Structure 1
Amino acid sequence: MSENTDLDKILNDLQSKYSNKFRLDQIHLAFQIYIDLFILKKWESVEFKNNKDLIFIYAIEKLENLNNYNIVIPCKSTSIWSLENLKETFYNLNNNDDNNNLNNNIPIDCKSFTLGIIDDDSSISYYELSYDTGLSDILTNNNK
């Protein structure tokens, strides 16, 4: 099977799995992140996961360090992220139905996630948001 055929199959599988839950543009954004991490950057494990609100990527750069995983949330460069959106995303990632089933039952305690920001020209920038680097104070104090 050629690489293009493999990618077509992956995209078709994604569309079949997620088309009744998510918009087509969300599926395509996740697919673009997959291509960037797995095909171009050669990360060793890249899996599609979802919760009720979003499709995200569970990725490990080198399999010898399974604790060094990344959760990548695909989004457009025009996406608007509020403190409430960030708080909700952390909550949803930590209360995900698949939480204990990711990559050979490695449990997740999601203290950070990475935005995979896709621009109109298809370039991708990655921006990590970490709960432990002051964001927790902002999100907690936002309710007061």
Structure 2
Amino acid sequence: MTEEEQNFEAGKDENLKNESVQESEGEWVKETGVLVYHAATGLRCEIKAKVRQGDGKVFVNGLPISELMKEGKILRAEELMQVMSRERLKRLDIDLDVGDVISKDVLSPPVLTYALIEALTNLLGRL
């Protein structure tokens, strides 16, 4: 295990603490820098991520991303799968909060998938 991984495991990752808001013990809310805007409805949502130690699982609004793929709300994009399998994400569980975007079905699956890819990529750079 590298020194960086040891620091993270011990809860000493200062970068994570400084750029995040601690929601509960061991869970951090991080900005992803992705803003979703749907012009026709005026729906606006900034994607945020709840990050905690885990097994590399990714959720969207509390639902497993695999379930949303099965429902057709998110595409099973190769790029998304590559981002999700990055080594730094394998030790974290991430819950992306996209607000009402999913429940109101206002975004097409390709657009939502692209937004999630961008959010995960940005998050990876901020960890």
Whichever structure has more strand as a proportion of its residues is: 2
Q: Highest CA radius of gyration, 1 or 2?
A: 1
Q: Which has the higher contact order (CA 8 A, sep 6+)?
A: 2
